[in-house]
Chains A and B, each alone.
Chain A
Amino acid sequence: MKMRGDKLTEIINVKEPRGKNKNGESYRVLMVDDSSTVRKLGAQMLRSEMFEICGEAADGYQAFQAYKELKPDVVTMDVNMPVMNGIEALRQILAYDKNAKVVMVTSEGHRDMVLEAVKLGAKGYVVKPFRKDPFCEQLKLAIDS
């Protein structure tokens, strides 16, 4: 083999971005959180893995309206929000589309609500403050489920 070892290492270490499907199209994400900080932070992480942020919502009611309009591949859903919380929004989204892929995003200490969400049909959850790798991985797992 003529290729040099360092070149081979470089090729092997190149990771495919998790935000694209086999056809090279970005997965579309709807981010739901009443904190603009969390939405911005999450969007930075997801964009670096080539996910497309197709929409944002600051409460459960906005989330349900945005879901119907945007039909995202996956939703990141905060639990504790004003107007309508994430559990009720999840319930409404799943009633509208039983194949919806929703990942719950919550602070420590809301495990009871997360378990309720998983029983209802959420595809997974991440705990804030989250890190890029587990966050992106959880979304990819939800999309592939």
Chain B
Amino acid sequence: MDKNLVRAVALSTQTVFQDLINWEMRVDGITVNKGPTNGTAELNAIISFSGSLSGAFVLHCSETLAAAISSEMLGLKCEEGSADAKDAIGELLNMIVGGVKNHYQHQRDPFRISVPTIVTGTDFSVHVKVSSEDEIVSFGFLHVGGDERVGLRLMLVSE
């Protein structure tokens, strides 16, 4: 996987969290995965993209954290499992992917992105037709000053 893309994903995620809810997020591990992408958390936002780069992003966290993020965004208490919490995680990923795309502005329209899909639960897998296992990268982020953890997975389809 292109190191610049990995860097862009990490930077965009940190920027969006900082700008949106004033959370400093530290990269807490980047790993190259093997095999299918299993559900790892209760709430998952999925955005696919296609163009000169194609693939999918999956942002995942607990429902408790999704509600906390949504509450921070809106400045009011959001319940676990609420439509607001789900929508907020989808929008958060939308902004992160937009930020990644911004790193490729030297290319005209590098890729188009889908609207977010939200999946609740853990007993599922996301399958994207990647060309090699090296094209699946998982990022862990830790809220500095807190113990909240968010995961982000990038699955890239090579040309």
Contacts and interface: CB of A to CB of B under 8 A. Distances in A.
Contact of A40 (B20, B74, B102): B74
Which of the listed residues A36, A128, A129 has the most CB atoms from chain B within 10 Å of its own CB?
A129
Contact of A80 (B16, B84, B113): B113
B67 to A, nearest CB: 12
Given A129-B20, A129-B95, A37 B70 contact: yes
Nearest to B18: A129
Contacts of A129: 16, 19-20, 95
Nearest to B20: A129
Contact of B98 (A38, A82, A108, A112): A108
A37 B115 contact: no
Nearest to B100: A109
The contact size tier of chain B is: 20 to 34
A81 B83 contact: no
A119 to B, nearest CB: 15
Nearest to A127: B98
A38 B73 CA distance: 9
A37 B91 contact: yes
Interface in B51-93: 70, 73-75, 83-84, 87-88, 90-91
B74 A37 contact: yes
Interface in B27-51: none
B91 A106 contact: no
Interface string A97-134: 00000000011111110000000000000001100000
Interface string A26-60: 00000000111110110010000000000000000
Interface in B105-136: 105, 108-109, 113, 115
Given A108-B101, A109-B102, A111-B105, A35 B94 contact: yes
Contacts of B115: 34, 80-82
B98 A106 contact: yes
A44 to B, nearest CB: 7
A40 B91 CA distance: 12
Contacts of B95: 107-108, 128-129
B19 A80 contact: no
30 contacts: A35-B90, A35-B91, A36-B83, A36-B84, A36-B87, A37-B73, A37-B84, A37-B91, A38-B91, A40-B74, A44-B74, A44-B75, A80-B94, A81-B115, A82-B115, A106-B98, A107-B95, A107-B97, A107-B98, A107-B99, A108-B98, A108-B99, A109-B99, A111-B102, A111-B105, A112-B109, A128-B94, A128-B98, A129-B16, A129-B20
A-B pairs with lowest CB-CB distance, top 5: A107-B98, A109-B101, A109-B98, A108-B102, A109-B102
Interface of A: 34-38, 40-41, 44, 80-82, 106-112, 128-129
